[in-house]
Structure 1
Amino acid sequence: MVGGGWLVAVVLAHTALSLSREESKVFLLQAGVYDQPSTEVFVRYNFSSGPALSPLEDLTVCYRVWITKYRSSISPFVSYAYSDEADNALLFFQAKDDLAFYYNDKKESSDLLLKADDTLEIWHHHCFVFTHPSYRVYVDGVLIQDGVLVSQAAPIPLNGTLYLGQEQDKFDGGLDAHQSFSGYITQVNIWDYEVKPSVIWSIANCLDNARGNVLSTDATPVEESKVGTQTVHMSAFCKSREKFVIIPVKMFPSDADSFCRLADSRFFIPADEEANSNLYNASRQFAEACAGKSYRFIFLGAKDDVMEGQWTRIADGQPLHYTAWSPGEPNGGNKRNCLVLRKYDDRWGDVQCEDKLCFSCGRSNLDYLQLRGLCQKEEHQTRFLLDGYINGWPFFRGYYGMLIYHSGVSEWMLQDTNGNITMAILSMVDPTGFPIGRRAWRVVTSFCGYLEESQVVLGLSTCTTQEFMCTDGSCVPRSVRCNLRDDCLDGSDEENCSIVFFSDRYHNHRPPPGATFDTPLQIEPSVDLIRFSKIDDIDLAFHIEIEIALSWTDRNLRFKNIKNEEGKNKLSEQEVEKVWTPEVEFLNVNDGQLKLLKSGMYVRQTGEPDPPIFTDVQMDTIYQPKSGRLVQRRQYYASFSCNFGLFKYPFDTQTCFIFIKLASADTNVLSLKNASVVHRGNSQLPKYSLQNIKIFIKSRSGYGVLEVEFQLERRWSLLMLTIFMPTFLLLGIGYGTLYIKLVAFQVRAIMTLTTLLVLYTLFNQVSSALPNTAYIKMIDQWFFFCIFLIFSIIVIHITVENLEKEGDAHKTRTVKVSPMDGRKVPLKPSLFTFTVSAEKVLLVCRRLVYPLIILIFCLIFWIVILSVS
């Protein structure tokens, strides 16, 4: 029984206790729900009042405890002092899961971690064995620590006072209510020798009830002050039973199962006759509210698996091993397949699963909820248990004396039982609702900085610090918070998803400070050349889609719930308007052709988040400024001018630039570093090959400037087919006219002139696709050469037409006319005389002159190209 208001007068018992060997006396020390911390509740034994005992050289102290609630300081179990200077001669206590002890005023466990079970309402057996200079600590019969004592080898005199449930700050006094014990203590035994481990194990497992030869609370009369007592069979200390709480609200089985899960429990189904009887007896107080005139009373969390032909648990699908059917039950066939406890006896029946009924939730000692939104100093203080009944409703009891209970009129009260103070009230729209989940409470008494009549949001759930609490109290991983998808059934994980925390002194009209207040803010630029849409040889410009990403650390901002993927951390328009952002200008935009396609602000995660704050009811993941960088991404479509050098066309390579100026402030305030440029597209453009992309950080007029440099190498393979191949063919045609018969002058002339005209047309067409330049390009020289070559062929044709043919030279005879007498004298042949005929001229041009001219020009042409490369 956990009762409040135990008022037992101080009694001095001078006779031995009449307990059997299997029974033990249990002391109830401030174990009631409403019991406030007090120094007047204790069990005491004064060794000086009895026969004189020798000081203890070796010592064994054992006891069994059941903790009902913790204190903000420590929960003392046994305290022994024999003087004001030796107020901690022996002290055994627990703080959360740390089991600690003093020996001869030395905290022997200061550097040790004696971990113990920190859950409430479960029996634990502690045993400390001292054989100076060593010690051993047993918990539930198992050795968890051994070591060497720090204190000197002084025996402990037995002329002092022993307290149970209080700590002595001085001999037989100096008690502190916040250093008192709340719970049950029994089987306190002291031996003046080393008790064997086998005996300790037997006591811990309820196989033996050995009593101390120095002190035993089952045999030694002790002084009790406002203490409740019970006599319990020792086997009860080792029984483990699932606790249950009846929920007097009618729900469908699925809703009831969800509620139990939200309360960190499960549908309760009795596992034996005793548990079934206890459930039925406890449910009698709700007979009218839950059953009325019907025999259907309490849902038991099981249903009939029609396919398998057996009854199984709703929670885990496991078959039932114990049943308590009423005669004639079950009788519902396939329609009535849910298990119910009947109203008129403790037997079971089956009902339709579409019915609404009351139900019970069972929990173990490891099950608890946590209340967030207060100002507890430690997470352990946030724990709450679903417990018994107040005003006919289940209540939630905190580990440290907090209480959430139903007022009986649609309100839930948050009370601090340590000071008997009502802190806040929750008004429910649904009179059958429970305070599980995130709720807005009205402050009644100021606490944690909240003023009276103000609103405070508190969250009661089973969620750990690694989870996010949905509004209804269900839990999802923190990683899914604000991931643009509803993971909570009520969608609350996507509410209040702002990313940036703004301080009251934040200004967006000026840049934030740098790494230190006397250094400029460093901005890391990244340029992405997305797509070249057009390269204009005529206007000497290129059209491109480009993205400019600027990232920086704003020391005045914090972030929340940011993801590893930058794209999921986009700031809203309202946040973008509040954040300072840098501005850029493009210095070589062609005729102002610049268009902003899209813009976005993101946060890039660069570090780890802060440790979760266990009192944070919103349960957001917080990042400090150094753990996140703001990233501004802007995508433009623009035309940039480029100084094309076309002398080597079509074997030219152009070097172009994009000049980007950081225009928000000069380099004394903003500086650029770690610039990068990337082009993820195909480097083989329609007319050019993109290569050698570089980026440089420069300064112009005191402002930081990015210079993006890249080269466009013209792809000349198609031009070889469309320019040089036709010109070679035309040259071949012109050259081929040298092989036409001399008598066909008209054919030679027409072919040569036509070739010349076609060549000129091709030259004109190629020139029109290039900008006008003051200098002569290599392609111009090539066409000039081809035109002049064809022209020279025409000249040759005209020349040979006026030369005599070799056939005509054989038909005529060459004579010389004498001036003396006018006689004609035949000329004699001479070694230096030759005849220039048309055939010889053509032969020389065919075999020597024109091939040599073409070869020499081509060599000169390529030498010039290579020399200027």
Structure 2
Amino acid sequence: MRTRNETQAPGLGSVRNMSVSVVVCVSFILVGAPGLCRAWIGSDNTGLAFQAENQLTQDSHASLQLSPPPAPTQPNITDLSVCLWLKVLHFRETSSYVFSYATTDKDNNELNLGIKSELILMAIGGKYLYGTMVSEKFVPDSWYHICFVVNSTKETGTFFVNGEMLNELQLTARNILLNGTLVLGQESDKVGGGYVAEQSFSGIVTDFNLYSRSLSEEEVWEMAKCEVGGQEAGLEGDLVSWTSTDWILTGPVTQHDLTPQYCSQDRHRFVVFTQQRNREDNEEFCQSLKSNLGVPHNDEENTQLYEAVVPFKDQCQPHNHASAIFLLGAVNKPTEGKWFDYEGKMLNYTNFDTDQPLKSTRCVGFLTPPAQGKWTDISCKQSIKFCAACHQRGHPIVLRMRGLCEQDVISSYFRIEQQHGKVASLRGFTKYYISSDDNATWTLFNMWTDEVIANTLVHHVDLPLGRRQWRVANNFALCGQSEGEMHTLSLSACHEETEFACGDGTCIQLPQRCNMRVDCPDNTDETGCDKLILPEEYLKDLPPPALTPGPLALSLVTSLQGISEVDIVNMKLTVDFQTIITWFDQRLTFQNLKQFSDLNYLRTDSVWTPMVDFVNADFPETYTTNAILKVLRESNPEPDDITRPQHDEVFQGSKNPLQRRQKVSAPFSCKMDLRNFPFDSQQCHLHLRLSSANQEFLVWQNLSVEYLGEVLLTEYQVGVVTGEVRQAEGYSQVTVTINFQRRYSYYFTSAYLPIVMLMFISYASLYCPRDNMDLRVMMALTTLLVLFALYQQISDTLPRTSYVKAIDIWCFFAITFIFSQVVLHVAIDVRLPCLRRLRSAPSSSKVKILDTKRRSGSVLVAARVLYALVLLVFCVTYWGILLS
């Protein structure tokens, strides 16, 4: 702690202001307010406490009248620095102004410093600059060293917190007149007045100094670390010096005696809790408060903790242990023979009564009075329960209460405080206070209005942690509820952005909420996990309005899983497919959505869902699975609503779409053109119509069609699959088109090739001996019968059509081809019997018989050539036309 020479001369203007201060004080006394105004001069070890009891008043301030210095000093300044130590006790809902400086009623923002939990604001010559806290926020009951340095050469204004630069901002050089009123604890709207209670400061100020120059970073750092000081070091303010300036105190402003602790940001804080627990439960309790099981690290801390424990010795004495009354957060490791603290670090300080041998699995605690803070080793058994203290380094333990219906987030924060000999209480960052007189009933109190807000009955607990029912004590004092009504409030130390508070006040990571795994000790992380927040005015029979003017657009993904059957006889196509419909319903709100959408299911009957009509499907044979409805998380959650008792991530329906999935197996009618059968290509359509409302309200958009099944079917090969949005009878309709190419290899091997073989067999009959009538006729006739049977078999598998198919032409030609050969053989055979009878005739007739045989042979030769030509011409013509 640095020291100052208290005999130094006052800063410029201080002596001249003494008479002014006296006159001001006398004026207060004359108007009947003696005691409200008094003169005061600071010192190294004193500070001024403003509104320590959180009175919320405009009458609490310390003022100082500055006067221009004598020549040759300039009556105004451009470079300046202001530094001070402060401890906030309570924030205001707007800004807490630590000091203000006004030269005229118009120029009342010449030099103002205000703070919020997350930023500092500084007014210089009417212009406000803002320094945002990045790594941490301001916490009440913690000391901070703040400096603001104006450099006119660089034209910058720089914020420093605890010696470190917060940010440096551009600031045009301005002249600040030295003829105004400087006020601590209030924001001036005019010279020496115009105060607003809601902008006042509740806290402690010390070491306030105002300089007419720009301090260097090194000087600021040295002051913040209390390494140097004193006016002889040049670090006392030349315009305002804390140790030599006389202030006029008005209203609830008291002198606060300081200790060197305010220069140390690493001091230890202990809070004693009188509920007896075993070591493991004590550790978990402190961890739920974001603190650790308390253990002293030096004599000072040991004395401080022991004196805080002594008033509770009767409550904390366990019934099954006589020598110790209080558990400390230290444990030994027998293999090393040393004691370690809660962080696993070896303790450099112990205070055992005697040198005791270390035993395995031993803990440590305070000996029963009057041992005066001596330690003893104790058993860590679960059956032995002790009181314990939770320990926090630097800042106090901070809790947060949800459900207060306060618009200002800072009003939901509390810090744990403990007065000597009393149980811990909770002091709000702004206006609330929670305390218990009988360790059973906890009361929520409004310090600003001086009224009880609510109370809750909780037996034998150190703090009313977790979600609890509070009874409203005054009409409309809590969320507009009437007196006697129950209201849920949740108190925990959980991080506001990343953690969820279980029902008992323990904390888990927010993504663990509603993840189908129990993480809270009381299972409350998996209760109330309904994803839907349905407004009372919601009408699920009406389609939602569009996000933009016009009809609501629904996206459709049609995934064809496969084609079960292509029925060419009945001209039907049986398709297995899945429809995925996505749309936004801005009327809805969701909560606790996960990136893995399978955890975001909704009941299909809980909200509006679109109806899809399969226009050309055979409905008696249509099969559908139960539709699956879920929400897709596509946005970040909305800002946390602290008025809700539970921290549930909330998502807007306008940013996160609904998705409906359903599998369908249905036969669709398909108009097939079989003229080129079996070398035909087919095109079938699936018509999906939005039947919930006409296209003035609903339209298909962002269509996607994909085929995931086998490409090679039994008879067909699946080609291109496309989709198109159309209008049909005033409704929006999607037409999915499937192209097929028949696989003709089956028909080629089972129909065309056998028929060709039969024609060749029949044709071979033309090469049989002329006089072997039975062989020639039977060959042709048999092939004709086999061909007819084959044709009949093929025809039975084809639909009856009014047109001739390609395979019909082929079969008809083959039948005609073979039938004509049968007729030819019969005609030739009619003449051969006559030739046989002529063989027995006189030799004079043999010349005629030979002529007849020659003519029959020439007929067969001609037939062979003719049939070959006919077959060749037909094949060329048939396949040429068919394949083209």
Separation in 1, partners of 2:358, 2:512:
46
3-state SS of paired residue (2:418): strand
Q: Name the aligned partner's letter for residue 601 of structure 1.
A: L
Give yes or no for contact 2:582–2:658 (8 Å, CA) kept in 1. yes
Aligned counterpart in structure 2 of residue 425 of structure 1, from 449, 455, 480: 455
The residue number in structure 1 matching 2:817 is 789
- Scaled by the length of structure 2, what TM-score is found? 0.83
Separation in 2, partners of 1:309, 1:498:
53
Give yes or no for contact 1:9–1:224 (8 Å, CA) kept in 2. no
The residue number in structure 1 matching 2:55 is 36
How has the CA–CA distance of structure 1 residues 570 and 390 changed in structure 2, closer, same or farther, with 3 Å as cutoff?
A: farther
Asked if 1:437 is matched to 2:491, the reply is no
3-state SS of paired residue (1:65): strand
Separation in 2, partners of 1:129, 1:779:
99
Alignment coverage as a number of residue pairs: 829
The residue number in structure 2 matching 1:244 is 270
Aligned counterpart in structure 2 of residue 702 of structure 1, from 718, 723, 730: 730
Separation in 2, partners of 1:785, 1:655:
29
Aligned counterpart in structure 1 of residue 505 of structure 2, from 473, 479, 484: 473
Aligned-pair CA distance for 1:132: 5.5
Give yes or no for contact 2:226–2:263 (8 Å, CA) kept in 1. yes
The residue number in structure 1 matching 2:243 is 218
The residue number in structure 2 matching 1:269 is 295
Which aligned pairs between 1:270-419 and structure 2 lie closer than 5 A?
Answer: 270-292=296-318, 294-305=322-333, 310-314=338-342, 316-333=343-360, 336-344=361-369, 345=371, 346=373, 347-354=375-382, 355-365=384-394, 368-389=398-419, 392-419=422-449
Which aligned pairs between 1:773-788 and structure 2 lie closer than 5 A?
Answer: 773-788=801-816
Aligned-pair CA distance for 1:143: 4.6
How has the CA–CA distance of structure 1 residues 143 and 704 changed in structure 2, closer, same or farther, with 3 Å as cutoff?
A: closer
Give yes or no for contact 1:36–1:420 (8 Å, CA) kept in 2. no
Aligned-pair CA distance for 1:476: 4.0
3-state SS of paired residue (1:589): coil
- Scaled by the length of structure 1, what TM-score is found? 0.84
Q: Name the aligned partner's letter for residue 687 of structure 2.
A: F
Separation in 2, partners of 1:47, 1:674:
72
Which aligned pairs between 1:707-856 and structure 2 lie closer than 5 A?
Answer: 707-740=735-768, 746-798=774-826, 836=854, 841-842=859-860, 845=863, 848-856=865-873
The residue number in structure 2 matching 1:141 is 163
Which aligned pairs between 1:519-668 and structure 2 lie closer than 5 A?
Answer: 519-572=550-603, 576-590=604-618, 592-668=620-696
3-state SS of paired residue (2:621): strand
Asked if 1:95 is matched to 2:126, the reply is no
The residue number in structure 2 matching 1:187 is 207
Aligned-pair CA distance for 1:241: 1.0
3-state SS of paired residue (2:625): strand
3-state SS of paired residue (2:505): coil
Q: Deviations over 1:802-832 (max 9, x none)?
A: 6779x999x9999989xxxxxx9x89x9xxx
Which aligned pairs between 1:55-94 and structure 2 lie closer than 5 A?
Answer: 55=75, 57=77, 59-81=80-102, 84-94=105-115
3-state SS of paired residue (2:283): helix
Bigger drift between 590-599 and 398-407 goes to 590-599
Q: Deviations over 1:776-810 (max 9, x none)?
A: 322222223333333344445445556779x999x
Give yes or no for contact 2:405–2:642 (8 Å, CA) kept in 1. no
3-state SS of paired residue (2:705): strand
Give yes or no for contact 2:432–2:447 (8 Å, CA) kept in 1. yes
Bigger drift between 457-466 and 469-478 goes to 469-478
Bigger drift between 260-269 and 189-198 goes to 189-198
Give yes or no for contact 2:265–2:394 (8 Å, CA) kept in 1. no
Q: Name the aligned partner's letter for residue 484 of structure 2.
A: E
Give yes or no for contact 2:445–2:453 (8 Å, CA) kept in 1. yes
How has the CA–CA distance of structure 1 residues 88 and 801 changed in structure 2, closer, same or farther, with 3 Å as cutoff?
A: closer
Aligned counterpart in structure 1 of residue 489 of structure 2, from 458, 464, 488: 458
The residue number in structure 1 matching 2:282 is 256
Separation in 1, partners of 2:392, 2:883:
88
Separation in 2, partners of 1:266, 1:403:
24
Q: Deviations over 1:117-172 (max 9, x none)?
A: 51233322233455667555543334545567557535313xx5543333344333
Q: Deviations over 1:282-330 (max 9, x none)?
A: 111221111246223333334344566654445x444444333342435
Aligned counterpart in structure 2 of residue 205 of structure 1, from 207, 211, 225: 225
Separation in 2, partners of 1:696, 1:47:
82
How has the CA–CA distance of structure 1 residues 699 and 163 changed in structure 2, closer, same or farther, with 3 Å as cutoff?
A: closer
Separation in 2, partners of 1:815, 1:485:
117
Q: Name the aligned partner's letter for residue 28 of structure 1.
A: A
Bigger drift between 46-55 and 257-266 goes to 46-55
Aligned-pair CA distance for 1:485: 4.1
Give yes or no for contact 2:439–2:462 (8 Å, CA) kept in 1. no
The residue number in structure 1 matching 2:145 is 125
Separation in 1, partners of 2:268, 2:259:
19
3-state SS of paired residue (1:457): strand
Give yes or no for contact 1:338–1:353 (8 Å, CA) kept in 2. no
3-state SS of paired residue (1:384): strand
Aligned-pair CA distance for 1:205: 1.7
Give yes or no for contact 1:24–1:218 (8 Å, CA) kept in 2. no
Aligned-pair CA distance for 1:442: 1.9
Q: Deviations over 1:66-122 (max 9, x none)?
A: 22221223333334456545555543332333323334xx33434665879512333
Separation in 2, partners of 1:661, 1:102:
65
3-state SS of paired residue (2:198): helix
How has the CA–CA distance of structure 1 residues 459 and 308 changed in structure 2, closer, same or farther, with 3 Å as cutoff?
A: same
How has the CA–CA distance of structure 1 residues 706 and 284 changed in structure 2, closer, same or farther, with 3 Å as cutoff?
A: same
Q: For structure 1, which runs of at least 5 residues remain unmatched after alignment? A: 1-7, 818-823
How has the CA–CA distance of structure 1 residues 849 and 294 changed in structure 2, closer, same or farther, with 3 Å as cutoff?
A: farther
How has the CA–CA distance of structure 1 residues 718 and 302 changed in structure 2, closer, same or farther, with 3 Å as cutoff?
A: farther
Asked if 1:109 is matched to 2:128, the reply is yes
Give yes or no for contact 2:771–2:832 (8 Å, CA) kept in 1. no
How has the CA–CA distance of structure 1 residues 618 and 193 changed in structure 2, closer, same or farther, with 3 Å as cutoff?
A: closer
How has the CA–CA distance of structure 1 residues 721 and 268 changed in structure 2, closer, same or farther, with 3 Å as cutoff?
A: farther
The residue number in structure 1 matching 2:28 is none
Q: Deviations over 1:364-401 (max 9, x none)?
A: 34553322222333333332223325984222222213
How has the CA–CA distance of structure 1 residues 455 and 759 changed in structure 2, closer, same or farther, with 3 Å as cutoff?
A: same
Aligned-pair CA distance for 1:594: 2.6
Q: Name the aligned partner's letter for residue 356 of structure 1.
A: K
Q: Deviations over 1:516-567 (max 9, x none)?
A: 67x3333344433333222222222222333344443334333333344544
Aligned-pair CA distance for 1:627: 1.0
Fraction of identical pairs, as percent: 28
How has the CA–CA distance of structure 1 residues 145 and 351 changed in structure 2, closer, same or farther, with 3 Å as cutoff?
A: same
The residue number in structure 2 matching 1:862 is 879
How has the CA–CA distance of structure 1 residues 207 and 338 changed in structure 2, closer, same or farther, with 3 Å as cutoff?
A: same
Separation in 1, partners of 2:698, 2:408:
44
Give yes or no for contact 2:628–2:660 (8 Å, CA) kept in 1. yes
3-state SS of paired residue (1:513): coil
Q: Deviations over 1:679-728 (max 9, x none)?
A: 22222222222223233333333333333222232222223222223333
Which aligned pairs between 1:227-242 and structure 2 lie closer than 5 A?
Answer: 227-232=253-258, 234=260, 237-238=263-264, 240-242=266-268
How has the CA–CA distance of structure 1 residues 199 and 110 changed in structure 2, closer, same or farther, with 3 Å as cutoff?
A: closer
Q: Name the aligned partner's letter for residue 245 of structure 1.
A: V
